[in-house]
Amino acid sequence: WLAVALATGAALLQFAGQDLRPLSAVPAVLGAALLVPAALRLLPRGTFRADRGMPTVVLMRGIAAGSFIAAESFIPLMLVTQRGLSPTLAGLSLAGGGLTWAFGSYVQSRPRFEGSRERLVQLGMLCTAFAIAAVPLALDHAVPTWIVAIAWCVGGLGMGLAISTLGVLLLRLSPPADAGTNSAALQVSDSLSNVLMVGAAGTVFTALGGGSVAPTAAAHAATAAAHPAAFAAVFLPAAAVALLGAAVAVRLRPRDSLARTRTMGSAPASR
């Protein structure tokens, strides 16, 4: 029933965000009442406090996936309505990110990075934050649209580094008996963050008039100057969330591992 409550709560929150009226508070409150207790039960204790170790691994998966997917969902719409690209070209601007994501996953698997897992996640989140923050530059017609494709290659590289490394850390920190439970929590964090952040981005976008942008490239000339702030209000907070993830990543190392590192570092001085 926890999974049902979580899904129902998320759906109600998304529904409430589609129409900003006083009555929308009813499904919003009901959704939160279902979602919050279920999330607290399904995710490791201390996840939302970013406790060291496993809770932060699970939290970071949500931060990484939510910020990236929320931004990615609006890039084709921005390129079509604000810059007049065809849907095909707008979609192709994201293709490079898939290739660099795979490359980032490959890079993090190299043995030389085995002792730098936390730094890899930090680097990945910084790349993702930079990429998302660079996207709204294309709202300025003086900036070439290919800047989005370049930025998304950087973002894909960051996600490949971060997401794959988090999976490795989860298995490393999980006792064999808990590996399945923790893996499920990781997926819950990923999915829940995607739903909440995309829904929140859509709500902000609509509230700032973004819902009235032209749906086709042919109509873009009449609306090119309309609602660029709605897109910026999606991308910049998503970049801030990714940047927050880079700061939170310092808590990926569990307390006992941190204590051992400090002890080893101070051992020569005590001799």
CATH code of the domain covering residue 113: 1.20.1250.20
Domain carrying residue 172: 47-253
Domain count for the chain:
2
Spatial separation of the C-alpha atoms in residues 221 and 69, rounded to whole Å: 28
Query: pLDDT tens for residues 19-52?
Result: 777 888 888 899 899 889 999 988 999 999 999 9
- 144-151 contacts, C-beta under 8 A, 24 or more apart: 145/79, 145/83, 145/85, 145/93, 146/93, 148/75, 148/79, 148/93, 149/92, 149/93, 149/94, 149/96, 150/96
Residues 101 and 211 in one domain: yes
Residue 91 within a domain: yes
Does one domain contain both 27 and 56? no
Percentages of the chain per state (helix, strand, coil), in multiples of 5: 85, 0, 15
- pLDDT category, 10, cuts 50, 70, 90? confident
Residues 204-225: pLDDT tens digits?
998 887 765 544 444 444 444 4
Residue 2 located in a structural domain: yes
Highest mean pLDDT among 12-16, 25-29, 81-85, 239-243 belongs to 239-243
**Does one domain contain both 29 and 140?**
no
Same domain assignment for residues 38 and 59: no
**Rg of the chain (C-alpha set):** 20
- Same domain as 66, residue 24: no
Q: What global pTM score does this model have?
A: 0.86
Report residue 140: phi and psi, to 5°.
-85, 120
Query: What gap in Å lies between CA 59 and CA 188, rounded to an integer?
Result: 10
